[in-house]
Chain A
Amino acid sequence: MKPDISGIIEGIKRLTPKKRVRIMEVCGTHTVAIAKSGIKDILPEEIKLVSGPGCPVCVTPQEYIDRAIWLSKQKDIIITTFGDLMRVPGTEESLSSAKAEGADIRVLYSPAGAVEIARENPSKTVVFLAVGFETTIPTITGTLEIAIREKIKNLFILCAHKIVPPALEVLASSEDLMIDGFILPGHVSAVIGIRPYEFLSRIHRKACAISGFEPYQILEAIFLILRQISGNQFRIANPYNSTVDYEGNTKAQKSISRFFIPSDSVWRGIGNIPSSGLALREEFSYFDIGTRISFPDIQSREPKGCRCGDVLKGIIEPSECPLFGKVCTYENPVGACMVSSEGSCAAYYRYRKKL
């Protein structure tokens, strides 16, 4: 039996304290669901929802995009990628415009499609742009496993994977942000389970709940977070137990650690976060395109005036960026947060009438 939505809203009202409560929705898909459903309109004004850095495309640094574009222009290279990356503006142009100029760039639904392309094009170097969080990483390692099994030698990755808990550590420790609770990402958690978040409640005393993507599930998470705050007892609540359990998907976790070791990683807007990225292990480094081709020095620059960094940290709302809706629109995006369908700026822009 599902809890009744008007009951949840009443529960939220009763538990709302007089002081301001700041709750961060970490995941970009939550940001979109919140904007689309108009949840902010029905919450008591003391409850402030803050968007977090959970849009993998948005946090991928400019330098990565520039490298991918540079690669796409080299001889005998086929770039394969998730569609989300295509329109992200690099310093000079985007993958999309590089493709229009003739670069061989192919958008895939699954990274496994890159194995097929590599098999059909034995004389070409096929590169998959490996971005994404823990939800996506097992689909990359699964693809590498298939490539090994099928003895494919011309498939490589340009890796910018990121893992979520180390970024949460930075956000939870930030004194400027003053986050009281986190709505945790449902499908990242399906893979990693609950354990990796426990430091948030134990050490940082943050109220947390893992949430699915339906509006009632987000409200349910907010209720469970407020309940912890009112009782002054913190934990990782998991109302999304159809999909998330304590251990997560251990087989996927093993596959990830078979191929990768944690490494430092730069997040757009946040900077370098220790152990928040992944690097291929020595024995699998032959999949790294960097071992086959050496990149030139590319001078990457962020788009002028874009405040994606502050948006990603939850310091400002998209509408507080001077370019929002004027120079920067969903049709003509300036920054990554407006490009990706789950970027905060795009979510605010597309559903702003409801906000």
Chain B
Amino acid sequence: MCLGIPMRVTEINENKAICEQSGTRVEAYIDMLDDVRIGDYVLIHAGFAIKKLSEEDATETIRLLSEVLSQDTR
């Protein structure tokens, strides 16, 4: 039940936005976010956009991983 779907905002009408993802279109309330723009990625849950998404940054895991993998095996 706690699963949101990332979608792209394609239209905004007052407090509602049309969001799309792989051909699926839904209308969602954007009352819970500030400053939503067309083109933004948002997390949709139960008809509301609940979070604005940013680009994934995996630098930390990659750094830690290469640290661990470069050590000699036990």
Contacts and interface: CB of A to CB of B under 8 A. Distances in A.
Interface of A: 1-3, 7-8, 10-11, 14-15, 27-29, 54-57, 82, 84, 109-113, 131-133, 135-136, 138-139, 142, 145-146, 185, 187-188, 190-191, 213, 220, 223-224, 227, 237, 239, 241-243, 245, 248-249, 251-252, 255, 340, 342
A224 B51 contact: no
Nearest to B15: A146
B1 A220 contact: no
A252 B46 CA distance: 14
Contacts of B71: 14
Given A1-B62, A2-B56, A241-B54, A10 B69 contact: yes
Given A138-B48, A249-B32, A249-B50, A190 B4 contact: yes
Contact of B32 (A8, A241, A252): A252
Contacts of A56: 1-2
A135 B45 contact: yes
B40 to A, nearest CB: 13
Contact of A187 (B4, B32, B56, B65): B4
Residue from A82, A131, A239, A255 whose CB has the most chain B CB atoms within 10 Å: A239
A322 to B, nearest CB: 28
A3 B2 contact: no
Contact of A227 (B3, B29, B33, B64): B64
Contacts of A185: 2
Given A7-B69, A139-B32, A251-B33, 5 more contacts: A3-B58, A110-B46, A135-B3, A187-B45, A187-B50
15 contacts: A1-B62, A2-B56, A3-B61, A28-B2, A110-B48, A133-B1, A135-B2, A135-B50, A187-B2, A187-B50, A213-B3, A239-B58, A242-B56, A251-B33, A252-B50
Contacts of B55: 242
Contacts of A145: 31
Nearest to B41: A242
Interface string B40-74: 00010111101101111110111011001101011
Contacts of A249: 32-33, 50-51
Contacts of B29: 112, 142, 146
Contacts of B65: 3, 7-8, 11, 223
Contacts of B46: 82, 109-111, 136, 139
A248 B6 CA distance: 16
B51 A190 contact: yes
Contact of B68 (A112, A191, A227): A227
A237 B58 CA distance: 12
Instruction: List the 5 closest A-B pairs by CB distance, nearest first.
Output: A110-B47, A242-B56, A135-B2, A190-B51, A139-B46
Contacts of B47: 109-113, 139
Contacts of A241: 54, 56-57
A132 to B, nearest CB: 6
Contacts of B4: 135, 187, 190
A255 B54 CA distance: 22
A167 to B, nearest CB: 13
A40 B62 CA distance: 23
A22 B74 CA distance: 21
A1 B32 contact: no
Contacts of A237: 60
B74 A28 contact: no
Contacts of B51: 187, 190-191, 243, 248-249, 252
A110 B50 CA distance: 13
Residue from B4, B46, B57, B74 whose CB has the most chain A CB atoms within 10 Å: B46
Interface in B1-49: 1-4, 6, 29, 31-34, 43, 45-48
Contact of A242 (B54, B60, B73): B54
Contacts of B6: 243
A220 B68 CA distance: 13
A54 B54 contact: no
